[in-house]
Amino acid sequence: MRLVRHKPSWQRLPLLLLAALLGGCAVGPDYTKPEITTPDAWQLAIVGETPGEADAPIQSWWEMFNDPVLNGLIEDARESNLTLQIALANVREARARLAYTGGTALPEVQAFGQAASTKLSDNGAFSQMAPPGGFHSQGMMAFGLDAAWEIDVFGRIRRQVEAESAAFSASVESYRDVLVSLYAEVALTYIEIRACQVHIANAESNIKVQTQSLDLTEERFNDGLTSQLDVEQAKSNLYNTRAAIPLFRIRMNAAYNRLAVLCGKDPGTLQTEVGGAGVLPSPGMNLSAGVPADLLRQRPDIRQAERELAAATARIGAATADLYPRFALKGAIGLESRSFSDLFDSSSMVWTMAAPVHWNIFTAGRTLDNIEIHEEKQQQALLNYRQVILQAMEEVENALTSYNEYRQRGQELDQAAQAAESAVELVSIQYDSGLTNFNNVLDTERSLYEQQNSLISSQTDSLRSIVALYKAIGGGWNSADAPDLKGEKEEVKRLGSASAARL
pLDDT in tens, the chain (503 residues): 455 444 444 445 455 544 444 445 788 899 999 988 888 777 766 655 555 466 778 888 999 999 999 999 999 999 999 999 999 999 999 999 898 888 888 888 888 788 887 877 777 777 777 788 777 777 777 778 888 888 888 888 899 899 999 999 999 999 999 999 999 999 999 999 999 999 999 999 999 988 998 898 888 888 888 888 988 988 998 999 999 999 999 999 999 999 999 999 998 888 888 887 778 998 888 777 777 888 888 889 999 999 999 999 999 999 998 888 988 888 888 878 777 777 777 777 888 888 888 888 887 889 899 899 999 999 999 999 999 999 999 999 999 999 999 989 999 999 999 998 899 889 888 887 888 888 888 888 888 899 999 999 999 999 999 999 999 999 888 877 665 544 444 544 444 443 333 33
Whole-number Å distance between alpha carbons of 272 and 239: 29
CATH architecture, domain 10-109+153-323+366-502: Up-down Bundle (1.20)
Torsion of the alpha carbons at 252, 258, 264 and 265, rounded to the nearest 10? 40
Distances (CA, A) of 338 to 111, 121, 333, 459: 20, 19, 17, 91
- Give the per-residue pLDDT at 192: 95
- Give the per-residue pLDDT at 45: 65
Whole-number Å distance between alpha carbons of 294 and 390: 13
- Give the per-residue pLDDT at 49: 58
Residue 118 belongs to what H/E stretch? Answer: strand 108-118
Distances (CA, A) of 252 to 187, 455, 462: 14, 18, 19
Strand 326-337 relative to strand 138-151: parallel, antiparallel, unpaired?
antiparallel
Strand partners, 144: 112, 334
Whole-number Å distance between alpha carbons of 154 and 22: 10
Strand 138-151 relative to strand 357-358: parallel, antiparallel, unpaired?
unpaired
pTM (predicted TM-score): 0.82
Asked if residue 476 lies in contact with residue 59, where contact means CB atoms within 8 angstroms, the answer is: yes
Whole-number Å distance between alpha carbons of 234 and 246: 20
- Residues in Cβ contact with 116 at an 8 Å cutoff, skipping those fewer than 6 apart: 139, 140, 141
Whole-number Å distance between alpha carbons of 28 and 4: 8
- Per domain, the residue ranges of the chain are 10-109+153-323+366-502
